[in-house]
Amino acid sequence: MGEDTVKFGYADDVAILAASKSLTDNVKRITSRVDEILKWGTSEGITFEPGKSELIHFSKHKIDQDPNTTPTVNIGNLIIKELNNGRPYLRWLGILFDKKLSFKWHVRELVAKAMTVAKALKSLGNSMRGVPANLLRQAAEVCVLKKAYYGAETWWPGRTRPGKEHRTNNGVDNHINLLAKVMLECARAILPVWRTTNTATLYRESGLRPPEIELDNIALTATVRTRRLDPYHPLAWRSEWIQENPNSFKSRYARRIASLRPSEQINPLAAPKWTESETREEVLDRIHGPKNRTKSTTAVDFNNFYNLLPRDDIVIFSDGSKQANGSTGYGFVEYQNNYKICEGSFALEKMKEVYNTKAIAALEGLRAAIVSIEARIATDIWICLDNIEVATRLLSNSIGSSQKIFTSFRQLASSWLNGTVRIRWVPGHKDIAGNEAANKVIKANAALPQPKGAYSYTGLRRETKDHR
């Protein structure tokens, strides 16, 4: 369908967004798109109800604020016009978009609802007795603050923005003041304090953060989530354009993307949920997962399995770790007929998590095994590691952190034509000599200089949580 407007949907709702220099041009574009959608639905056997449509014009001009004078969308006998009910906003997925995009209606409504719950929590105790503070804090975070901050990443632009000569106020002081009242009401509900207790003490003792800090964290978390968007998502397109030309964009979204640390991009369409794949139970059976067995029992089973392997098979024990100073590294040890044929280790940057290091260790171990002379006579190559999640993803088409590493592993495994690459889960270092050897190799090179690179997705999420 046409590409001069943006169309997006959720469940059974469809939104059409058109942008131009005049409301009349917008209406023409929307009318054309609605007509196109209805014709497409008729040809595909899908029924739409345009009579339930709502229209809103986003404009900061005074002349465009009266719903009685703004242009309408006309489709046959159907006329779609702005509602004139005293509420100049449109609700979409629980967010109130007003005509000036000030979001004052949205913040007021959510603050009113959150304040009602906060006062109810406050009534459960006083300065002498009441519900334990830790339970009240949990209730406040889940039932009050989640409601008050819902959709905040949509409207929060930061308190200021860069200007030509100095930073410019974004005009959100009223929103912050309303949210601050909710925060303080929650703090008084949590703590057994007097009415005269000062604000700084309430924030410190309750563990709650001032609204401006919380809003910045919400915006940062939402920006991190853009790293999991599919490549056809409108925000993914915009992110790519911003990263290619960071100095050409000055919007709020551009500032957020530009401030994000370099990190991997996850493509959820690489393994769509509607495609056939192994079930979790099938994968655990293939890698011989724990299946409610103890570590001791699993270790005995693995050692018995290892002793019965053909002499020509190559067994790779791979591992990864994170040191106390935050540095990470990986290592692997390879055996054939109980003889060590190869080992390797490397220090990684602090941007990686243990999960990522174990995936890299498996890939590098397999790469070293395939190019070795011993691989010419091997029937199978076994990758043995103690992380159940990494083991389940190594030969499965999946999405998540280190996606490129797992894709490279599958491609490398399929390129080895002498035999089959297999995965075996092992129960940590307990009574598994090969795993203990791999761990020693990692520690030997833990002090090596760390290279600089991009964050993994899990590393970026951890950094965001630590920032909070």
Domain that holds residue 206: 102-228
DSSP letters, 262-308, are PB----GGGS-TTS----HHHHHHHTT--TT--HHHHHHHHHHHHHT
Rg (CA), the chain: 29
pLDDT for 11: 53
Q: What is the per-residue pLDDT across 257-298, written as a single tens digit (0 to 9) for each?
A: 888 888 889 999 888 877 777 888 999 999 998 888 888 888
Containing 322, the helix (H) or strand (E) segment is: strand 314-322
Instruction: List C-alpha distances in Å: 30 to 37, 54, 89, 165, 278.
Output: 10, 12, 18, 39, 44
Q: Is residue 1 part of a domain?
A: no
User: Cα separation of 357 and 378, whole Å?
Assistant: 26
Same domain, 351 and 444: yes
Q: Dump pLDDT digits (tens) for 124-173.
A: 877 778 888 889 999 999 999 999 999 999 999 887 777 666 677 788 99
- Same domain (yes/no): 321, 454: yes
DSSP for residue 18: -
Confidence at residue 214, expressed as pLDDT on a 0 to 100 scale: 94
Q: Is residue 263 part of a domain?
A: no
Separation between Cα atoms, residue 402 and residue 458, nearest integer Å: 9
User: Residue 158 domain-assigned?
Assistant: yes
At residue 371, the pLDDT reads 93
Q: What is the C-alpha to C-alpha distance for residues 230 and 217, in angstroms, rounded to an integer?
A: 23
Instruction: Please tell me the predicted confidence (pLDDT) of residue 9.
Output: 56
In whole angstroms, give the CA distance from residue 51 to residue 161: 41
Count structural domains, the chain: 3
Q: Read off the pTM.
A: 0.81
Low-confidence ranges of the chain (pLDDT < 50): none
The domain boundary residue, chosen from 94, 123, 151: 94
* 112 and 85 housed in the same domain: no
| 90 and 112 inside one domain | no
Residues 427 and 291 in one domain: yes
- pLDDT reported for residue 168: 72
On whether residue 243 sits in a domain, the answer given is no
Q: Which pLDDT does position 454 carry in this prediction? A: 75
291 and 406 part of one domain: yes
